Structure formats: C-alpha cells, structure tokens
Amino acid sequence: MIIKDTDGTVLVDRVITQDDLNNGIQVEITVDGGKVEVTAQVVDAAGNPSPEVSDNALVDNGAAPAPSVELLGDTNGDGVYNSDELGADGTVTAEVTLAAGTEVGDRVIIKDTDGTVLVDRVITQDDLNNGIQVEITVDGGKVEVTAQVVDAAGNPSPEVSDNALVDSEAAPAPSVELLGDTNGDGVYNSDELGADGTVTAEVTLAPVPQWVIA
C-alpha cells in the first residue's frame, strides 16, 4: 500500500495487514497552497501496481473581511445621544458597510445592545453597494451595535462594534426668584426698586444627577 499527500510525499509504504482490510487506513494530509490531495495505490505480491486513485479539495480557511459599523445621528459628535438625537421610537440608526472582498452569498450577522440578533442573512449586491441600516434599541443608558461577516466557506470575520452613551432625560429645571419685594405683596414700590430702577433676580441651578455606564 502506497499513500501520498498533496506534494507527492509518501506517507505510507508498507505491507497490508488484516486490520487494513477490515477497517481501511486513515492518514493526515497536509494542506498546501489552498488545496489538499491524497493519492493511493496498491501493489500486489507479484509486483503488479493498481491504477493510482486520488481525491482532492480546495481549502479556504482565511478570515472573511471585517465590515465597518457606525452609529448615526450623533449630530454634535459628543458620543452621547440626547432626546433630540434619538429616533421618535427611542432607537438609534446603525449603518454597516461591507469591506472589499465581501461577496454576494456571504452572510452578515448584526446584533443590538443586548446581543439580540437583528440580521442574519445572505448578503446581496444591494448590501455591497449601499450598506445595511438597522435600528438599535437603547438599553440602560447605552446603545451598541455589533456586526460580523461569514464567508461562503464558513470563515467568520472579526466582530466589529460601535457604541455610545444615551442621556435623553430632560435637564433639571432651575429655580428663579425676584428679590427685594420686602413686604411680599408681589408689587415693587419705589423703595423696593434699585437706585437704577431695576429688580435683582436670582437663579438657582438644580443638582445634576450623576450616572455611570458600566
């Protein structure tokens, strides 16, 4: 029995045993240059060789090209979405752009802040031309989107993500008071007015709540 690998290197060259007849022979074949091939031949006791037989396949184990992903609508670019920047439904639009080398028939997976899969489908030509937009739900003061491509051979790209904080609560209202109405009747007389005929107003700012996003 003679068995050769992709490069023609002899891996097995020995007498056939009963176990070989019963169970066959398994060998490990090294991949070379994107392909793998095995060749086998039997030579009988009289020295007569069988035809060589072979099997081969291509090998694609390179990572798929990673997409890019961006959360849209942060108009002031501060990394925090306020109530005006959120969509009417409280979501943020994310845009996934597919990298060069991505092909129709590859698969795209997009997840939201909670890791919920929003998109898991085959990539189309329109996706390659225009990207993919999805709405991401805000969760606990933050928003995040994650995207990944898996090529036709099953090789995944690295996961890529974008995230931002969300503060859509109304700012705390200040308090304001006109001072100097000494008798508290709501009417300023000449004595209560300032020498220049003005009234002093005092604005007190409310405490700003402190929040931390883990």
pLDDT > 90: percent of the chain: 59
Q: Tell me, what's the pLDDT at 137?
A: 82
pLDDT band at 214 (very low <50, low <70, confident <90, very high): very low
Give CA–CA dist 175/56, Å, rounded: 80
Q: Are 93 and 135 in contact (CB under 8 A)?
A: yes
Closest to 168 measured CA to CA, from 105, 91, 69: 91
Q: 175: which 2 tokens?
A: 């308090």
Count of residues making up the chain: 214
pLDDT at residue 210 in the model: 55
Residue 187 binned pLDDT confidence (cut-offs 50, 70, 90): very high
pLDDT tens figures, 32-65: 778 999 999 999 999 999 999 999 998 888 899 9
Q: Please, what CATH class does the domain formed by 68-166 belong to?
A: mainly beta
| Alpha-carbon gap, residue 141 to 121, rounded angstroms | 29
- In this prediction, residue 213 carries a pLDDT of 44
* Domain parsing of the chain, residue ranges: 2-58, 68-166, 171-214
| pLDDT tens-digit series, residues 103-147 | 999 999 999 988 999 999 999 999 999 999 999 988 778 899 999
Token pair recorded at residue 185? 């009747």
Distance CA 95, CA 114 (A): 17
- Backbone φ, ψ for residue 180 (5° rounding): 95, 0
pTM summary value? 0.66
